[in-house]
Amino acid sequence: MSKKIILIILLFSAVISTKAQKVVSSGGDYQERSSGSLSWTIGEPVVGTVSNGNVITQGFQQSRLIIANISEVKNPQVKVLVFPNPTSEFLTVKLSEDQTYTMQLFNLNGQLLMEQKTKSTESKINMTIYTKGTYLLKLINNKESNTYQIIKQ
């Protein structure tokens, strides 16, 4: 009976210890500058790599990630509607006031794909020429800049 209890305790402790990620390494460091941060360990096994824009993660050791909004609305008097989202054909940008904005469409690599001025309170962007994926639409005027995430189906 005591052998069964010892075996159960050993199995239970093995299950608990495998849930926590541990890194046994010979060294590492963390550096931070105004342009970003870099954190690493030496001797860590590679378990996977994920790249998302400017963030690359690899292995067990992970630095803290700060996720921020794409943009904030600075002029709530001008209402902007971007629809339909997701879209497969045309994207409509509708402004509550007749103001001139520059519309810029970027892919997730930061490449500028399209730039045009709004002609009235309603403008259309032809999305049929772009592949399926996620894009960023930036609306700029002399007072503000707003960015919208667009999904092309």
Q: What is the pLDDT of residues 108-133, one digit of tens each?
A: 888 999 999 987 889 999 999 999 99
User: In the chain, what percentage of residues exceed pLDDT 90?
Assistant: 22
Q: What is the pLDDT of residue 9?
A: 76
Q: What is the pLDDT of residue 57?
A: 58
Beta bridge partners of 124: 92
Q: What is the pLDDT of residue 44?
A: 61
Q: What's the rounded Cα separation, in Å, for the pair 23 and 25?
A: 6
Question: How large is the average pLDDT for residues 69-90?
Answer: 74
Query: Of 10 and 110, which is predicted with more confidence?
Result: 110
Question: How large is the average pLDDT for residues 45-50?
Answer: 55
Burial class of residue 153 in the structure, from the number of CB atoms within 10 Å of its CB (0-12 exposed, 13-18 middle, 19+ buried)? exposed
Average pLDDT along the chain: 75
Question: How large is the average pLDDT for residues 44-61?
Answer: 56
Domains and CATH numbers, the chain: 23-67 (no CATH), 80-152 (2.60.40.3080)
Residue 111 near residue 80 (C-beta atoms within 8 A): no
Over 80: is that where the pLDDT of 141 sits?
yes
Over 80: is that where the pLDDT of 8 sits?
no
Q: What is the pLDDT of residue 45?
A: 58
Q: What is the pLDDT of residue 125?
A: 92
Nearest-CA neighbor of 110 among 138, 88, 132, 90? 138
